[in-house]
Amino acid sequence: MKVLILGADGYLGWPTCLYFSQRDHEVIGVDNYFRRNAAIELDCESLIPAANLHQRSKIWEEITGRKIKVHIGDVTNYEFLLSIFREYNPDAVIHYAEQPSAPYSMINRDKAAFTLQNNLISTLNIVYAVKEANPECHIIKIGTMGEYGTPNIDIEEGWLEIEHKGRKDKFLFPRQTGSLYHTTKIQDTDMLWFYVRTWGITVTDLMQGPVYGLSTDECDLDPRLMPFFHYDEIFGTVLNRFVVQAVAGYPLTVYGKGNQTRGFLNLKDTMQCVYLSATQPAERGQLRIFNQLTELFSVNQLANKVKQIGDKLGYNVKVEQIENPRVEKEEHYYNIAYSGLLDLGLKPHYLTDEILESFFAIADNYKNCINRNAFLKGIKWK
Amino acid sequence: MKVLILGADGYLGWPTCLYFSQRDHEVIGVDNYFRRNAAIELDCESLIPAANLHQRSKIWEEITGRKIKVHIGDVTNYEFLLSIFREYNPDAVIHYAEQPSAPYSMINRDKAAFTLQNNLISTLNIVYAVKEANPECHIIKIGTMGEYGTPNIDIEEGWLEIEHKGRKDKFLFPRQTGSLYHTTKIQDTDMLWFYVRTWGITVTDLMQGPVYGLSTDECDLDPRLMPFFHYDEIFGTVLNRFVVQAVAGYPLTVYGKGNQTRGFLNLKDTMQCVYLSATQPAERGQLRIFNQLTELFSVNQLANKVKQIGDKLGYNVKVEQIENPRVEKEEHYYNIAYSGLLDLGLKPHYLTDEILESFFAIADNYKNCINRNAFLKGIKWK
């Protein structure tokens, strides 16, 4: 299979390139280094310095003999994207090329406008490039569980049949988010659904929960192949941040009461989910939606787990409830259907003590590189 | 009241300026002439040439002694928009400054990208300008009934309480549209709803059906005050197009079977609806949604009405069912709640024979200016 990976330099994009490449697929990786540049601008770079995408792909080739083709360019530039589609004619395109941070989207007007424009124009361009170059190309899009927010009803897998005044119809599950970034993901889904109905394109939209971890079988082959390790308020997901805070002797920053519950998954499981989606594609003209998570935790539960393991390893971890910078419910109902990817063959890596300990070991290796100013950047929703 | 009208040059924007001005409100009109320029580019200009916004505002002053302040500029330019908010500190902002055509949004990638970018960045900028300059300013946004599409359940007024597996919650009514343009209106609503919840801004979102007519008490004062009269495939709403086709001896172009049903309203009623919304604002921190229409017609019913009146006036009107360029259901359920604006005091002008006859009279005056090539521009959804 020929797979075009957009956002190939990212936390998920890079390990995805390796995962497909290792399994004998032809991988073309595209990135515009947005994340690297934004992390420099905002002083919250990855804990582990990463070689650029060309260099990393050479390291991969050196170790495995496998080639990943790399193009540096911006997916919001349609001529560029279309030229890539025409050159390679991929069977599947995996779209990670979005501004992925909720806090980033709430910094100011310019960052909000960038998020809107980048995320929606990139998705639109992919739809048009697929239509022009190869309408059979399967679009795999990373959505977010955040699209649903925290409704007071059970969250189904993408769709809901509604009965109203004795009549029925099926709709996208109702969605209301907690940030402008998450709102762009709702907007993406609505736009993809329109073009699926109108043009018969083929889309899998993966409603992913927060991902944690750094280890995949491929990344573990060489330290130079590790993905970005963001642990800051802007680009770091919560568990990654907590582990680094624990190692740094910084209190774990729990927002508000900490009873906010989300669905999490290990980086290894993101790899599986995307791979299973690509190799068992949606039907032609279908918008297929999966809820991509393996287990639920509240923020307090995660903090307690990190404290427990951290204390055992001798870090003397403190947990601190700080004023919530976000506008979100701190107590809410949360019950989610997520059987679709399990049915495709996902074998979850649950958050065991061993996994958490190995994660501490990685962070400890880079202890001296931790920038304590990155934990709290002072971005507030209001 | 001080009212900022964005998109003040348009079919709805200009008569709205006059309507508020005539009622002693201070009106500031802003436009970037997008519509004029697009109509020149696509060879589908208004039937009636219109003086530019500065000139029209001078004509209005000459006739009534009332001033409308005019600024030419682009609402997607945040510095410009914020300077307008700071200069005038309006009590309400009426947002017509969007690319308003479904066919335009389906022409090609560039027009689609323009529609996305223009409509969403303009709405985002208004939200930010309101937050920075005056969080109490009431945002009145023109949405579209097209957001709902044609679901198989009754369409409520913006919201739906859903019961699912024994639990309940209230959500935005499910929406799925028939064009990229309409999709941007869904995206607008989701974005506004996010900022209403997060920042407590105040919004009225008017889900408007297709508007017809050219006459308002103010526009009728002088022929030079008439709004744009678009009758083409791109910017002309269906009834306006049919009347001009009838006058031109061109068959009325019914798309497909013609049983597509929509909710319509007279231009005079758009004025009332927007005015009632402004003078009886939403509550602080509320997203208030009204369905803005006064009666339902299928396309066939409209064509038959136009034929009946046209034949009576001696035009010998033909009706032709042409291949539907759009992707839409030609037979569907359609039952809509629209009591909110009636409760505020709307007095509908229904589509009577007299109104239709007077509409024919206007079109007949400009018979020699009709560009028959504008009726069908060949834009297809697929």
Residue pair B356/B309 in contact (Cβ under 8 Å)? The answer is: yes
Task: Dig out the tokens for B231 from the structure.
Answer: 């009758």
The pLDDT value given to residue A372? 96
A380 touches chain B (CB under 8 A): no
To which H or E segment does residue B156 belong?
Answer: none
B199 touches chain A (CB under 8 A): yes
Residue pair B381/B325 in contact (Cβ under 8 Å)? The answer is: yes
B165 touches chain A (CB under 8 A): yes
Write down the residue that tokens 């709803």 correspond to.
B193
The pLDDT value given to residue B6? 98
A159 touches chain B (CB under 8 A): no
The pLDDT value given to residue B343? 98
Backbone angles phi, psi at B261, to 5 degrees: -110, 140
A169 touches chain B (CB under 8 A): yes
Shortest CA gap A311–chain B (Å): 37
Q: B190 and A183: CB-CB below 8 Å?
A: yes
Q: What is the mean pLDDT of residues B67-77?
A: 98
Burial string for A155-173 (b: 16+ CB within 10 Å, else e) reads: bbbbebebebeeeebebbb
Rounded Cα distance between A50 and A223, Å, is 10
In the structure, what pLDDT confidence band is assigned to residue B188 with cuts at 50, 70 and 90? Answer: very high
The pLDDT value given to residue A365? 95
The pLDDT value given to residue A212? 97
Q: B168 and A152: CB-CB below 8 Å?
A: yes
pLDDT per residue over A292-317, tens digit each? Answer: 999 999 999 999 999 999 999 999 99
Rounded Cα distance between B187 and A192, Å, is 12
Contacts of B81 in chain A (CB under 8 A): none
Contacts of B191 in chain A (CB under 8 A): 116, 180, 183, 187
Shortest CA gap A371–chain B (Å): 30
Write down the residue that tokens 């083709």 correspond to.
A69
Mean pLDDT of chain B: 97
DSSP string of A277-334, one letter each residue: HHHSPPPTT-EEEEEE-SEEEEHHHHHHHHHHHHHHTT----EEEE--SS---SS---
3-state secondary structure of B369: helix
pLDDT per residue over B203-261, tens digit each? Answer: 999 999 999 999 999 999 999 999 999 999 999 999 999 999 999 999 999 999 999 99
Q: What is the mean pLDDT of residues A64-90?
A: 98
Q: Which A residues, 95 through 114, put their C-beta within 8 Å of a C-beta on chain B?
A: 109-110, 112-113
Shortest CA gap A182–chain B (Å): 10
Q: A194 and B176: CB-CB below 8 Å?
A: yes
Give the residue from B270, B271, B225, B213 showing the smallest Cα distance to B23: B271
Which one-letter DSSP state was computed for residue B65? S
Give the residue from A270, A262, A267 showing the smallest Cα distance to A346: A270
Query: In Å, how far from its chain's centre is CA B221?
Result: 22
Contacts of B333 in chain A (CB under 8 A): 167
Q: What is the mean pLDDT of residues B56-72?
A: 98
B181 is an active site residue: yes
The pLDDT value given to residue B240? 95
Which residue in B has a C-alpha nearest to residue A161's C-alpha?
B164
In the structure, what pLDDT confidence band is assigned to residue A163 with cuts at 50, 70 and 90? Answer: very high
The pLDDT value given to residue B155? 98
Residue in B152, B193, B198 nearest the CB of A167: B152
The pLDDT value given to residue B187? 97
In SS3 terms, B246-279 reads as HHHCCCEEEECCCCCEEEEEEHHHHHHHHHHHHH
The partner residues of A26 in beta bridges, in order of sequence, read A2
Give strand ranges (E) for B188-331. 202-208, 211-212, 252-255, 261-266, 287-292, 295-298, 319-322
Q: B191 and A191: CB-CB below 8 Å?
A: no
Q: A117 and B112: CB-CB below 8 Å?
A: no
The pLDDT value given to residue A139? 98
Q: Which A residues, 52 through 81, put their C-beta within 8 Å of a C-beta on chain B?
A: 78
CA angle B177, B37, B117 (to 5 degrees): 40
B33 is an active site residue: no
Backbone angles phi, psi at A380, to 5 degrees: -120, 145
Q: In what order do the strands lie in the sheet with A92-95?
A: A68-72, A26-31, A2-6, A92-95, A138-144, A202-208, A287-292
Distances in Å between the Cα of B174 and the Cα atoms of B136, B146, B161, B266 are 29, 12, 11, 27
Shortest CA gap A154–chain B (Å): 7
Rounded Cα distance between A81 and A129, Å, is 7
- Probe site for chain A from B80, B115, B132, B169 (most A CB atoms < 10 A): B169
Which one-letter DSSP state was computed for residue A266? E
Q: Which A residues, 116 through 145, put their C-beta within 8 Å of a C-beta on chain B?
A: 116-117, 120-121, 124-125, 128
Give the residue from A268, A259, A331 showing the smallest Cα distance to A297: A259
The pLDDT value given to residue B55? 98
Residues of A with a catalytic annotation lie at 144, 181, 185
B324 touches chain A (CB under 8 A): no
The pLDDT value given to residue B321? 97
In the structure, what pLDDT confidence band is assigned to residue A119 with cuts at 50, 70 and 90? Answer: very high
Which residue in A has a C-alpha nearest to residue B123's C-alpha?
A113
Shortest CA gap A342–chain B (Å): 23
DSSP string of A130-176, one letter each residue: HHHH-TTPEEEEEEEGGGT---SS-B-SSEEEEEETTEEEEEEPP--
The pLDDT value given to residue B374? 96
In the structure, what pLDDT confidence band is assigned to residue B26 with cuts at 50, 70 and 90? Answer: very high
Shortest CA gap B136–chain A (Å): 15
B331 touches chain A (CB under 8 A): no
B180 touches chain A (CB under 8 A): yes
The partner residues of B358 in beta bridges, in order of sequence, read none
pLDDT per residue over A186-204, tens digit each? Answer: 999 999 999 999 999 999 9
pLDDT per residue over A268-289, tens digit each? Answer: 999 999 999 999 999 999 999 9
Alpha helices (H) along chain A: 13-22, 34-41, 53-64, 78-88, 102-105, 109-133, 180-199, 238-248, 267-279, 299-312, 340-344, 353-365
The partner residues of B1 in beta bridges, in order of sequence, read none
Rounded Cα distance between A264 and A239, Å, is 9
To which H or E segment does residue B36 belong?
Answer: helix B34-41
Shortest CA gap B109–chain A (Å): 7
Q: What is the mean pLDDT of residues A80-109?
A: 98
- Probe site for chain B from A80, A126, A153 (most B CB atoms < 10 A): A153
pTM: 0.98
Task: Compute the half-sphere exposure of residue B3: CA atoms within 13 Å on the CB side of its CA.
Answer: 29
3-state secondary structure of A3: strand
Q: B382 and A327: CB-CB below 8 Å?
A: no
Q: B109 and A116: CB-CB below 8 Å?
A: no
The pLDDT value given to residue B65? 98
Residue in A124, A152, A171 nearest the CB of B169: A152
Contacts of B190 in chain A (CB under 8 A): 175-177, 183, 186-187, 190
- Probe site for chain B from A162, A172, A287 (most B CB atoms < 10 A): A162
With a CB cutoff of 8 Å and minimum separation 6, the contacts of A99 are A34, A105, A114, A115, A118, A119, A181, A184
Task: Dig out the tokens for A243 from the structure.
Answer: 């582990």
The pLDDT value given to residue A126? 98
Q: B176 and A190: CB-CB below 8 Å?
A: yes
Task: Dig out the tokens for B118 from the structure.
Answer: 């223009």
Q: Which listed residue (B96, B181, B315, B334) is catalytic?
A: B181
Give the residue from B18, B46, B20 showing the smallest Cα distance to B33: B46
Mean pLDDT of chain A: 97
